């Protein structure tokens, strides 16, 4: 069961969900769940695993749901430990008492496992390479797309999860809304404005504003004005267009590719923190 719970957690993290996890770490007496038993939950209430059922599991489910409502805050706290006494006369002790006749006592760890950004870098030039380096440094996963094979290969990006070299139309034909949602963010950093515009419009035509990914594009306000007009002409909904960030990155005065990459990642950290606090 533990392996299956871990597999479920990894699957949900890959889909962009934070996961709340309860693990029995100690037990005494007659209890429904033995050490190592696990129960995991995501924000929509979907869950997997068990720590033994009955009233104990209902109590744990409620705690997990409270945790997952504010996963960012919980991850900063580093989790917590709860002690339970499964005995109807257990009130007044330094434990959470449950109306049960089991008579056992157990200790449960509660934690939130946060999903980390999984980025699609479109354009493997100087900024793209610097962005990949920063992602490597902070443990984010990323994939690379470029129409040029010299800028999208394993030698240049040895740690990339996926590497794509094709025409833009072939790439877009291979993707849909569901497949693109494996990415938390898509950054368009291409070398040619016309190619950037083509892939931007193609991606915006496929995404769902209520789901991942977020989209950002490197460039000036003038460049974005032209892209916005082209997207409107292509009948992309205004809300979808205006959700795109251009220019990307926190306004820290970045100039070099390395500085721009830091600004981009800092913006993602800020957006994730803000979203988590708003959902509290």
Segment 155-197, tens digit of pLDDT? 999 999 999 999 999 999 999 999 999 999 999 998 899 999 9
Q: Which domain holds residue 166?
A: 118-278
21 vs 58, which has greater pLDDT?
Answer: 21
Preceding peptide of 55 cis, ω within 30°: no
Query: Does one domain contain both 35 and 82?
Result: yes
Query: Does one domain contain both 265 and 142?
Result: yes
Write the CATH number for 208.
3.40.50.720
Q: How many helices, marked H, and strands, marked E, lie in the chain?
A: 10, 11
Query: Does one domain contain both 252 and 167?
Result: yes
Q: Which position has the token pair 């499964």?
A: 86
Which whole number is the average pLDDT over 27-38? Answer: 77
244 vs 105, which has greater pLDDT?
Answer: 244
* 8 Å CB contact between 67 and 80: no
Query: Does one domain contain both 228 and 191?
Result: yes
Could you report how far apart the first and last alpha carbons of the chain are, in Å? Answer: 31
Residue at which a domain ends, from 62, 87, 113? 113
Query: Does one domain contain both 141 and 270?
Result: yes
Both structure tokens of 238: 């205004």
Query: Does one domain contain both 16 and 88?
Result: yes
Q: Which position has the token pair 């960030």?
A: 245
Residue at which a domain ends, from 80, 113, 146? 113
Rg (C-alpha) for the chain, rounded Å, is 23
Both structure tokens of 252: 């820290």
The H or E element containing residue 205 is: none
Distances (CA, A) of 172 to 167, 169, 185, 199, 208: 9, 5, 16, 8, 15
Q: How many CB atoms sit inside 10 A of residue 111's CB?
A: 19
* 8 Å CB contact between 269 and 277: no
Query: Does one domain contain both 137 and 222?
Result: yes
Query: Does one domain contain both 107 and 79?
Result: yes
Query: Does one domain contain both 157 and 270?
Result: yes
Query: Does one domain contain both 79 and 195?
Result: no
Distance CA 264, CA 121 (A): 12
Q: How many CB atoms sit inside 10 A of residue 269's CB?
A: 13
Both structure tokens of 91: 């009130």
Query: Does one domain contain both 123 and 215?
Result: yes
pLDDT tens digits, 220-267? 889 999 999 999 999 999 999 999 999 999 999 999 999 999 999 999
Q: Domain tally for the chain?
A: 2
Residue at which a domain ends, from 113, 131, 164? 113
Confidence of residue 3 (pLDDT cuts 50, 70, 90): confident
Is it the case that residue 280 has pLDDT exceeding 60? no
Confidence of residue 57 (pLDDT cuts 50, 70, 90): confident
Mean pLDDT computed over every residue of the chain: 88
Query: Does one domain contain both 100 and 163?
Result: no
Is it the case that residue 126 has pLDDT exceeding 60? yes
pTM to 2 decimal places: 0.80
């Amino acid at each position: 069961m533990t392996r299956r719970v871990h597999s479920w957690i990894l699957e949900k993290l890959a889909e962009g969900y934070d996961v709340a996890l309860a693990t029995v770490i100690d037990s005494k007496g007659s209890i429904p769940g033995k050490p190592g038993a696990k129960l995991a939950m995501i924000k929509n209430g979907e869950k997997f695993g068990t720590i033994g059922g009955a009233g104990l599991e209902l109590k744990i489910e409620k705690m997990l749901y409270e945790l997952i409502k504010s996963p960012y805050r919980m991850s900063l706290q580093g989790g917590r430990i709860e002690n339970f006494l499964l005995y109807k006369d257990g009130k007044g002790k330094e434990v959470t008492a449950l109306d049960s006749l089991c008579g056992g006592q157990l200790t449960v760890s509660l934690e939130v496992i946060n999903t980390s950004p999984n980025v699609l870098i479109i354009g493997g030039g100087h900024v793209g390479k610097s962005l990949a380096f920063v992602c490597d440094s902070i443990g984010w996963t990323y994939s690379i797309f470029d129409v040029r094979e010299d800028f999208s290969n394993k030698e240049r990006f040895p740690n990339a999860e996926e590497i794509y070299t094709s025409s833009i139309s072939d790439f877009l034909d291979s993707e849909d809304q569901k497949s693109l949602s494996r990415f938390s963010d898509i950054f368009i950093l291409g070398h040619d404005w016309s190619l950037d515009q083509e892939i931007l419009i193609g991606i915006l035509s496929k995404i769902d504003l209520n789901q991942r990914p977020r989209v950002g594009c490197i460039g000036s306000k003038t460049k974005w004005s032209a892209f916005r007009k082209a997207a409107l002409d292509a009948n992309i909904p205004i809300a979808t267009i205006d959700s795109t960030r251009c220019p990307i990155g926190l306004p820290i005065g970045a100039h070099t590719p390395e500085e721009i990459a830091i600004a981009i990642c800092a913006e993602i950290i800020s957006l994730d923190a803000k979203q988590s606090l708003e959902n509290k």
